[in-house]
Amino acid sequence: VMIGYPLAIVVGFIGMVAGVGEFGIIPTLELFYSRTYELLTNYTFLAIPMFVFMGSMLEHSGVARGLYDALYEALGRLKGGLAIATVLIGTVLAAAVGILGASVTMLTLVALPSMIEKGYDKSLAAGSVMAGGTLGILIPPSVMLVVYGPLASLSVGKLLMGAFLPGFMLSGLYCAYIAIVCYIKPSYGPAISHEQRLSTVQILKKLLVSLLPPAVLIMSVLGVIFLGIAPPTQAASVGAFASILIALAYGKLTWENFKDAAMQTVKISGMVMLVGTMCFSFVGVFIRVGGGEVISQFLLNAPIGRWGILGIVLLFTVFLGMVMEWIGVLFILVPIVTPIMAKFGFNPLWFALMMCITLQTSFLTPPVAPAIFYFQGAVDPKLGVNIGHAMKGVLPFIFLVLVGVALCSLFPNIILWLPSIMIGG
């Protein structure tokens, strides 16, 4: 995987070879078939293409540009205001889009040029774009959480609600860091000039107009889940339809945009399911040969206590996330570690979100660091922002994710409160 071979092929091949060597060709093929069939016929996974299509349509609708223009005027008068606006846009887009690549790419194209033009520190600008963009994979509706739920036999609705406060907590930590840095070093994030500022009434009007479409979309998806009106799969279809209406309202519902969104949906959903089936089959072989029991006994007998075990699992999650995509990490780790952590008395929902929050570091940490690759692929070379600026820029935000993990460990209700009061599961 580290030298560039596709994860699905590597994991599937290793699982097949190990299975044939242990059980023979026919039992191994039967195991691969049964695991693949089980995964592809899981009703919950229907939400994946719906959420991806919703995000893709929003990417083409122009919502990000309108939102950035409004927040640019509202926060640009503050030191570091544009970088804070970038994180806030990433937060709103995360709650409306839910796709890492779409969020990072949109922010790179929309927000980065303005920050560089206003003299912002290049590392700070790059870091705020990538940190804000990666919130799209955690804040609901999140494809990652839709994948996690069936793997751990958890309610996807409760996972989505549980991720809401941690996601906004990370957003708040990012904004606080930017504000403090720019207060100490004003040259890192200068405020826009008085001549460029609009009146308060004009700013409020722009904010209202730009925030209304994503707010309606967020409520159409998360509201029906929270109130128990519909399960996540049906809510995802409502969101997909609402995204079409938003694109229509913005005058962006063209055949070309619709086709691009559909093709992106097919590609991303196909990639998720291909990697998922191969990793799921690999785990089937691993568990059948007794690997899961070996790991379970090793951890249960380790003299470091339940919190030490949690630390080991989360560190291993970070390591795996550094060398492979999050899809592979979930499909390989979740079926193995979830029952083990339950034996240690950890709430499965709380542990699931702890693992997903920890994976935020993996999106920013080389060598895989998908956020950096999306950023570098979208950045205009004329801006003079290179991969060195990107890597330097993400380091403080990686530390802030770890702070978020620590806070959720100390105060578990950050994760558990919303799921406990939602109507239905």
How many residues are recorded in the chain? 425
The two three-digit tokens of residue 228, written as one number:
């128990």
| 240 exposure class (CB count in 10 Å sphere: 0-12, 13-18, 19+) | buried
Each residue's pLDDT tens digit, 118-151: 889 999 999 999 998 888 778 887 778 888 988 8
Distance between CA atoms of 343 and 339, rounded to whole angstroms?
6
Please determine, for residue 80, whether its predicted confidence score (pLDDT) is greater than 80: yes
177 or 302: which carries more pLDDT confidence?
177
Tell me the three state secondary structure of residue 353: helix
Share of the chain above pLDDT 90, in %: 24
pLDDT confidence of residue 94: 67
Q: What's the half-sphere exposure (Cβ side, CA atoms, 13 Å) at 260?
A: 14
Domain ranges of the chain: 7-421
Each residue's pLDDT tens digit, 191-235: 876 666 667 777 777 777 777 777 777 777 777 877 778 888 888
Please determine, for residue 425, whether its predicted confidence score (pLDDT) is greater than 60: no
Each residue's pLDDT tens digit, 364-376: 887 667 788 888 8
Tell me the three state secondary structure of residue 290: coil
Q: Could you tell me the pLDDT band of residue 399, with boundaries at 50, 70 and 90?
A: very high
How does the average pLDDT of the chain come out, rounded? 85
CB 28 within 8 A of CB 16: yes
Each residue's pLDDT tens digit, 21-65: 988 999 999 989 998 888 888 887 888 888 888 878 877 887 777
Tell me the three state secondary structure of residue 119: coil
**Does the pTM of the predicted model rise above 0.85?**
no
pLDDT confidence of residue 96: 63
Share of the chain above pLDDT 70, in %: 94
Tell me the three state secondary structure of residue 245: helix
Distance between CA atoms of 72 and 88, rounded to whole angstroms?
11
Please determine, for residue 2, whether its predicted confidence score (pLDDT) is greater than 70: no
The mean-pLDDT minimum among 19-33, 257-271, 322-336 falls in 322-336
Please determine, for residue 314, whether its predicted confidence score (pLDDT) is greater than 80: yes
